[in-house]
């Protein structure tokens, strides 16, 4: 059998900025709006460590993340769709997320926010063979965590605020107003762009904390030599890195700087997933989806408009995967068993239905893996070692 080389995903110059960020994120964060906070002085990364400032900004960001007064009407926070006890994914049933207005659904399954701090800034040509890498969202359309914040805040299918000014008006009278002024300056609310950027900075700072990327799974303990894998887990790991080819995209080795494996290389692929007939987005009021069930999600193509990107979606981390069902960008599978079955057999006929986007389907590393049902089980068992909060049995 030919040897499969892991795809180059993260190269050393695209390494994530989580600990050593020295980039003035805010200067480039809001499209078209130039803001002054943090620029030329301290950068987000500089605030880390012992002076405590980052902790405070992070605490503020956490409070905003879970503040349900910031939607229109009140009642929905980032945490509604990214719950801490569900791998920061949507704890509610359904393939995609319902917004604050009942009956309005987004088109995609809410992914985990965890470990997304390690996604490099979106680069349309920085990945394998000149393909895209990094960014936020399934299609990379937000370049950074800061950029990402604006999406859900203003999306009529999510938090439904009419404008940046409307969000800032809520922040100004909300429970975090005092802390925002303390950390970002007394006059921060004089300019809505500046106040909004402060919020983006605080949320992104929270998303970069070890609380959101804790590396406390059994697999991490195993890597540190403080836990043993069971026979089934060890067999699953060997399959993951070998016969099942998973690590080709869901990298299982530490980064050059010692960061433990992230189980994604942040590149993009079209796995040939079929349409999810039960995607509630199809039943949205027609002003939000005039095409109904004829809607096709072209993924990365929406961001780059390159034909070769039609149907590609970002490789998500598999950390905490056993608590973040349903799976894939359209939430089509409810269990890991089904997801692995798809990888195992999708190229063997039409068991799963035709690919929603037939162009660019990757048939080289998936779809006919010849895994036995025991092997599928072992892989599932291994994936369960990736859940954070592992407590060794005494």
Positions in the binding site for ligand HEC (CB under 6 A)? 65, 76, 78, 80-82, 97, 99, 106, 108, 110-111, 113, 116, 136-139, 145, 148-149, 152-153, 158-159, 203, 244-246, 248-250, 269, 271, 273, 313, 315-316, 318, 321, 324, 327-329, 336, 339-340, 343, 362, 365-366, 379
Question: Which CB, 51 or 200, lies closer to ligand HEC?
Answer: 200
Residues 6+ away with beta carbon under 8 Å from 113: 78, 82, 88, 89, 207, 212
Q: How far is the CB of 343 from ligand HEC (least distance, A)?
A: 4
* CA-based nearest residue to 218, from 329, 381, 50, 74: 381
Q: How far is the CB of 65 from ligand HEC (least distance, A)?
A: 6
Residue that the structure tokens 């956490």 belong to? 62
Q: How far is the CB of 381 from ligand HEC (least distance, A)?
A: 12
Residues 6+ away with beta carbon under 8 Å from 6: 247, 248, 251, 253, 265
Cβ-defined contacts of 81-86 (< 8 Å, 24+): 81/110, 81/152, 81/158, 82/110, 82/112, 82/113, 85/323, 86/323, 86/324
Q: How far is the CB of 192 from ligand HEC (least distance, A)?
A: 16
Question: Which CB, 49 or 67, lies closer to ligand HEC?
Answer: 67
Question: Which CB, 189 or 343, lies closer to ligand HEC?
Answer: 343
Q: How far is the CB of 185 from ligand HEC (least distance, A)?
A: 22
Cβ-defined contacts of 227-231 (< 8 Å, 24+): 227/390, 227/392, 229/382, 229/385, 230/381
Q: How far is the CB of 245 from ligand HEC (least distance, A)?
A: 5
Cβ-defined contacts of 90-93 (< 8 Å, 24+): none
DSSP 225-238: TS----HHHHHHHH
Q: How far is the CB of 308 from ligand HEC (least distance, A)?
A: 15
Residue that the structure tokens 């701090």 belong to? 117
d(CA 166, CA 174): 12
Distance set, CA 191 to CA 141, 160, 181 (Å): 26, 22, 12
* CA-based nearest residue to 160, from 83, 75, 73: 73
Q: How far is the CB of 392 from ligand HEC (least distance, A)?
A: 25
Q: How far is the CB of 394 from ligand HEC (least distance, A)?
A: 31
State how beta strands 313-314 and 268-269 pair.
antiparallel
């Amino acid at each position: 059998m030919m040897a499969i080389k892991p795809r180059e995903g993260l190269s050393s110059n695209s390494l994530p900025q989580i600990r050593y960020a020295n980039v003035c994120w805010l200067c480039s964060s809001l499209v078209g709006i130039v803001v002054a906070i943090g620029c030329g002085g301290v950068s987000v990364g500089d605030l880390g460590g012992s002076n405590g400032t980052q902790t405070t900004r992070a605490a503020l960001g956490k409070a905003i993340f879970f503040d349900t007064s910031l939607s229109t009407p009140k009642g929905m926070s980032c945490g509604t769709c990214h719950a801490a006890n569900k791998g920061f994914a949507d704890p509610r049933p359904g393939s995609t997320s319902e917004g604050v207005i009942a009956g309005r659904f987004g088109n995609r399954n809410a992914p985990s926010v965890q470990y997304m701090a390690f996604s490099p800034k979106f680069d349309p040509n920085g990945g394998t063979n000149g393909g895209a890498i990094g960014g936020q969202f399934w299609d990379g359309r937000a370049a950074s965590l800061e950029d990402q914040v604006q999406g859900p805040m203003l999306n009529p299918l999510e938090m439904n605020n009419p404008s940046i000014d409307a969000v800032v008006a809520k922040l100004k009278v909300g429970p975090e107003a005092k802390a925002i002024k303390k950390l970002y300056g007394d006059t921060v609310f004089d300019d809505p762009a500046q106040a909004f950027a402060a919020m983006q900075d605080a949320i992104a700072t929270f998303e970069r904390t070890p609380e959101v990327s804790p590396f406390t799974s059994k697999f991490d303990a195993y890597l540190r030599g403080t836990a043993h894998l069971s026979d089934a887990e060890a067999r699953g790991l060997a399959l993951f890195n070998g016969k099942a080819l998973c690590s080709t995209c869901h990298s299982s080795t530490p980064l050059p700087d010692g960061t433990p494996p992230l189980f994604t290389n942040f590149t993009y692929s079209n796995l040939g997933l079929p349409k999810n007939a039960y995607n509630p987005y199809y039943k949205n009021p027609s002003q939000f989806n005039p095409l109904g069930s004829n809607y096709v999600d072209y993924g990365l193509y929406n961001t780059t408009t390159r034909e070769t990107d039609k149907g590609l979606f970002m490789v998500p981390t598999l950390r905490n995967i056993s608590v973040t069902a349903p799976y894939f960008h359209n939430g089509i599978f409810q269990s890991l068993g089904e997801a692995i079955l798809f990888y195992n057999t999708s190229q063997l006929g039409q068991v799963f239905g035709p690919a929603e986007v037939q162009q660019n389907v990757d048939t080289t590393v998936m779809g006919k893996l010849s895994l036995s049902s025991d092997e599928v089980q072992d892989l599932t068992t291994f994936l369960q070692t990736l859940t954070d909060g592992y407590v060794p049995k005494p």
